[in-house]
Chains A and B, each alone.
Chain A
C-alpha cells in the first residue's frame, strides 16, 4: 500500500458515504473511500433500498402530489413518538427538498412509482432500478471526479487525540496499514450484522435473528468512535426488525423475504398459540412491530397461517408457502402439535363475527370474545388448501449511533464538537430517528447529512 494521506477519509461505501465523498471532492478536497465489503457488495444497506423520502411543494413527474415540510415533520414526529432532535429533523427535512435534485445531478435516476406496496408515490422518490442502480451511479460519478475507492478495506481502529482524528488503521486482505487524513467522515452503518453485539442487548435469542441487509455492517467504526470519546445517541438495545421468512439466508435476504400476509390470517408460535392481534391496523402501520413480537416467542419463531381465499391478496414472496389440505397435516409439516393447532384454529374460526371483508379498509370482520382478538379482516380458516409461512425476526437496522450537530460534526462525551470528525447515514440516524421508521427516511438521512458532512470535512481539510 503506497502512502496516501487524503484530505478527507470516508469510512463506508453506501449512499451517505458516497454523497459525502462527492460533496467533499466537488469542494476541492482529495478523498479516499474505504469500503469494508468487496466490490459486488459495496454500499451496505443502500443496496437494498429503493426510494428516498423528500419534501416537495408541488407534484413532479415522479411524485404524485405535494408533501410539505410540515407534513414530513408531522410524519417523523408520529413514527418516532417525538424521539427526534427537532433542529436536526427540521434541517434534514428542509434540505431534502433540494436533495432529490442534487442527487439527480450526481447521475441517480428516478422513476414514477408503478406498483409500490405501501402507496409511497406521493412522499417518496423511487430510484430507477433500485438501490444498487443508485449506488452504481454515485460510484461512477465519484470515480469520474477523482475520488479514490478501496474495497475489502475495513477500518479496525482509529487514532483520535483530544477529539481530533489523526488516522485510521485499515485491514485490507490481511494487511494492516494506517491512513492519516485531515478530516474523517464516519458513514459505515450500524452494527446489525454483529451477532455478539446484538447478543449483548438481546441475550442468546439474538442468535436466531436474521439480518436483512449487508453482512459487513459490523459496527466497528461506531464502536471505535464510542470508545474514543464520541457521544452516543439512540437506544443501544433497540433495532428495527420485521417478521421475515424463516427460510431466508442469515444475511442479505433483502426485500424479497418479507411477508405481507399477517393481516389475512393468524400467527401462532411454537406451541401453536396466537400471541397478538394480527388485524390491529393496516399492514403498513403494523409490519414493523412483528419482528419484536416474534423475537419474544419461544425459539424466536412463529407461523403465519391462512387459507386459500387469502393467497392472492398479498405480494408474492421468495419462498412458496408450506401447504396442506387440512390443519392437522399442515401442523405436522410445520412440526407443530396437530391437536394444539386444531384447537387454536377452531377457537379462532368460532370467534369470527360475520362481516364485509375488505382488504382496502379497516373492515368489520373481527373476532368476538377471543384473546388476543383479531380486530379486522378476521375470516374463518376453512377453505383448503391451508398455507403457512414460518417467520423469524429480521433486523433491518440498529438505532444506536453517534451524536452530531447541524454540521454533521461529531459531538463528544465532554460536550464539545469534534474538530475534524463528521458522521452521516445509519451511524448517526438515531439523532433524527430515535425510534420507529418511515419508509425511505434512511436514504434522506444519508444523502442530506452525507452532503453536509462531506462539504464540512472538505472545508476543514482545506483551512
Chain B
C-alpha cells in the first residue's frame, strides 16, 4: 500500500482527522485534507510539506495520545516530510546525506576551510597575516575572479540539484506543471510563505513546549529568513557594484551591501539561536528526534555564516582578516553546496505545497457547499 511505515501512519492519522475536522481552522493542512477521501503517498508528501509544525493540532486534539486513537499529526507529518526530502534528492545517491547531515556537513565545512586557507597561503603566503585596507583589500587574499568561479560553480550546482529535487517532488504529488507557472498562485503562495501565515495555530499562536501558545518560532524564523535574504541581497548588490559600477569591496559601513549584510547578519545571529532554543524546549511528544540532526545542522550553519560574516566586517582592517575571510568563505561555500542535501529544502517544498494549496483553495472557493 504505502512506501514506508511513516506514510502508512500518515494515512491512518489523516483518516481519523478527516472524520473529525475540528482542526480545520488551524492551518492549510486540514482544508487540503478535506478535499480528499483517501491518502496516497503523493497526497501525504504534499500535506506533510504544507504542515508548518506549529503544534496546535496536537494540543487541541481530543484523540492525541494517551487516547487509543493515538493521533499525532505534527509528528506523523514531520516524519513523512523528512522522508520526502531524502526521496526527492538529486542525484539520488546523495539521499543518505539527510540522515547523517551533521557529520557530512561538518566534514565538508572542515575541508572547505582547509581548502580556502591552503589556497590563500599558496596564492601569497606573506599576505595572509598582514592588515589590508582600501578597495580591493579582500582580493589581495583571493582574487575576485577566483571567488566568482568557486562560488558560481557551487551556487549553480546547488541550484541544479534543488531544481531537480523540486521537479521530482512536483511529479510525486501529481500536480500539473502549469500550476507553478501561474503568477496569481505564485503571488498567493509567496504571501503565505513570507508572512508565515500558517505558523500561528490559526491565530492562537504556535505551541512548542505544551498547550500554552507561548512559542516565538514565527518571530525567530522571520528574523532568520529575512536576515538570510538580506545577506543574499547584499551579495547581489556587491556584484552589481563590482561589475556595473566598477567599485570594489570592501565598502564603507554606510554603503548598501554592508548595511544589508550587517542587518541580515544580526537577524540571523538573533533568529537562529531562538530557533535552536525552541527545538531544545520542544515537547518530545511532537519532536521528530530521528531527524533533529538535519534541522540543527542547518540552523547552526546559518548562525556560523552570519557570525563569521560579521567578524569579517568588524575585523577587516586587522591582520586577522584573512583567516576570518577563509572561515567565512569556507562556511558559505559549505552552506551553498549543502543546500540541496539538508533542511534548506523545507523552504522549497513548502513553498511548492503552498502554490498547490493556493490552486486548491481557489477550486474550493468555487464550490458553494461542500458539506453533506
Interface, chain A (partner B; CB < 8 A):
40, 47-48, 50, 109, 111-112, 114-119, 126-133, 136, 140, 249, 252, 254-257, 260, 312-318, 359-360
Q: Which of B20-39 contact A (CB under 8 A)?
A: 20-26, 31, 34, 37
Other than A114-B31, A130-B20, give 19 A-B pairs with Cβ distance below 8 A: A50-B22, A115-B24, A118-B371, A127-B22, A128-B26, A129-B23, A131-B62, A132-B59, A132-B60, A132-B61, A133-B59, A140-B211, A140-B212, A260-B372, A313-B372, A315-B19, A317-B19, A359-B372, A360-B369
Q: How far is the CA of A359 from the CA of B369 in the complex (A)?
A: 12
Q: How far is the CA of A318 from the CA of B19 in the complex (A)?
A: 6
A129-B20 in contact given A109-B204, A359-B372 (Cβ < 8 Å): no
Q: How far is the CA of A318 from the CA of B18 in the complex (A)?
A: 8
Decide: B19 and A115 in contact? CB cutoff 8 A: no
CB closest residue in chain B, given A48 = B62
CB closest residue in chain B, given A313 = B372
Decide: B25 and A252 in contact? CB cutoff 8 A: no
A254-B20 in contact given A128-B25, A140-B212 (Cβ < 8 Å): yes
Decide: A112 and B20 in contact? CB cutoff 8 A: no
Task: Write the nearest CB–CB distance from A120 to chain B, whole angstroms.
Answer: 10
CB closest residue in chain B, given A139 = B211
Residue from the list B20, B21, B31, B60 in contact with A133, Cβ < 8 A: B60
Task: Write the nearest CB–CB distance from A377 to chain B, whole angstroms.
Answer: 12
Q: How far is the CA of A67 from the CA of B202 in the complex (A)?
A: 26
Decide: A114 and B372 in contact? CB cutoff 8 A: no
Q: How far is the CA of A394 from the CA of B34 in the complex (A)?
A: 25
Decide: B37 and A316 in contact? CB cutoff 8 A: yes
Number of interface residues of B (CB under 8 A): 36
Q: How far is the CA of A315 from the CA of B37 in the complex (A)?
A: 9
Task: Write the nearest CB–CB distance from A437 to chain B, whole angstroms.
Answer: 19
Which residues on the B side are within 8 Å of A127 (C-beta)?
22
Judge whether B15 is part of the interface by a CB distance below 8 angstroms. yes
Which residues on the A side are within 8 Å of B37 (C-beta)?
312, 316
Give me the 9 closest cross-chain CB pairs, A-B, nearest first. A130-B22, A111-B25, A129-B60, A256-B19, A133-B60, A47-B62, A136-B211, A132-B62, A318-B19
Q: Mark B191-212, 1 if CB is under 8 A from A, else 0.
A: 0000000000111100000011
Decide: B59 and A136 in contact? CB cutoff 8 A: yes
Which residues on the A side are within 8 Å of B16 (C-beta)?
256, 318
Residue from the list B23, B31, B68 in contact with A130, Cβ < 8 A: B23
Which residues on the B side are within 8 Å of A130 (C-beta)?
20, 22-23, 60-62
> Which interface residue of A109, A140, A359 has the most chain B CB atoms within 10 A?
A109
Q: How far is the CA of A363 from the CA of B163 in the complex (A)?
A: 53
Decide: A114 and B24 in contact? CB cutoff 8 A: yes
Decide: B62 and A254 in contact? CB cutoff 8 A: yes
Judge whether B3 is part of the interface by a CB distance below 8 angstroms. no
Q: How far is the CA of A260 from the CA of B16 in the complex (A)?
A: 16
Which residues on the B side are within 8 Å of A111 (C-beta)?
25, 202
Q: How far is the CA of A136 from the CA of B372 in the complex (A)?
A: 30
Judge whether B66 is part of the interface by a CB distance below 8 angstroms. yes
Task: Write the nearest CB–CB distance from A65 to chain B, whole angstroms.
Answer: 15
Judge whether B185 is part of the interface by a CB distance below 8 angstroms. no
Q: Which of B51-106 contact A (CB under 8 A)?
A: 56-57, 59-64, 66-69
Task: Write the nearest CB–CB distance from A389 to chain B, whole angstroms.
Answer: 12
Judge whether B370 is part of the interface by a CB distance below 8 angstroms. yes
Q: How far is the CA of A128 from the CA of B22 in the complex (A)?
A: 8
Q: State the majority secondary structure of interface residues on A.
A: loop
Q: Mark B215-258, 1 if CB is under 8 A from A, else 0.
A: 00000000000000000000000000000000000000000000
Which residues on the A side are within 8 Å of B21 (C-beta)?
115, 315
Task: Write the nearest CB–CB distance from B367 to chain A, whole angstroms.
Answer: 10
> Which interface residue of B24, B67, B372 has the most chain A CB atoms within 10 A?
B372
Q: How far is the CA of A117 from the CA of B34 in the complex (A)?
A: 12
> Which interface residue of B56, B203, B371 has the most chain A CB atoms within 10 A?
B371
Decide: B56 and A129 in contact? CB cutoff 8 A: yes
Decide: B372 and A129 in contact? CB cutoff 8 A: no
Q: How far is the CA of A50 from the CA of B371 in the complex (A)?
A: 16
Which residues on the A side are within 8 Å of B201 (C-beta)?
129
Task: Write the nearest CB–CB distance from B261 to chain A, whole angstroms.
Answer: 40
List 8 contacting pairs A-B, 8 Å CB cutoff, sorted by A: A109-B202, A112-B25, A115-B34, A129-B204, A133-B22, A252-B62, A256-B20, A314-B372
Q: How far is the CA of A359 from the CA of B371 in the complex (A)?
A: 11
Decide: A255 and B22 in contact? CB cutoff 8 A: yes
Decide: A115 and B370 in contact? CB cutoff 8 A: yes
Residue from the list A126, A252, A315 in contact with B67, Cβ < 8 A: A252
> Which interface residue of A47, A48, A131, A136 has the most chain B CB atoms within 10 A?
A136
Decide: A316 and B26 in contact? CB cutoff 8 A: no
Decide: A316 and B19 in contact? CB cutoff 8 A: yes
Decide: B15 and A316 in contact? CB cutoff 8 A: yes
Q: How far is the CA of A127 from the CA of B23 in the complex (A)?
A: 9
CB closest residue in chain B, given A318 = B19
CB closest residue in chain B, given A129 = B60
Decide: B63 and A256 in contact? CB cutoff 8 A: yes
Decide: B371 and A115 in contact? CB cutoff 8 A: yes
Decide: B203 and A128 in contact? CB cutoff 8 A: yes
Which residues on the B side are within 8 Å of A313 (C-beta)?
372
Task: Write the nearest CB–CB distance from B292 to chain A, whole angstroms.
Answer: 25
Q: How far is the CA of A130 from the CA of B60 in the complex (A)?
A: 7
Which residues on the B side are within 8 Å of A254 (C-beta)?
20, 62-63
Which residues on the A side are within 8 Å of B23 (C-beta)?
129-130
Task: Write the nearest CB–CB distance from A128 to chain B, whole angstroms.
Answer: 5
Q: How far is the CA of A133 from the CA of B34 in the complex (A)?
A: 20
> Which interface residue of B21, B31, B66 has the most chain A CB atoms within 10 A?
B21
Decide: A129 and B67 in contact? CB cutoff 8 A: no
Task: Write the nearest CB–CB distance from A64 to chain B, whole angstroms.
Answer: 12
Task: Write the nearest CB–CB distance from A327 to chain B, whole angstroms.
Answer: 24
Q: How far is the CA of A130 from the CA of B19 in the complex (A)?
A: 14
Q: How far is the CA of A359 from the CA of B202 in the complex (A)?
A: 32
Which residues on the B side are within 8 Å of A257 (C-beta)?
19
Q: How far is the CA of A249 from the CA of B68 in the complex (A)?
A: 9
Which residues on the A side are within 8 Å of B60 (C-beta)?
129-130, 132-133, 136
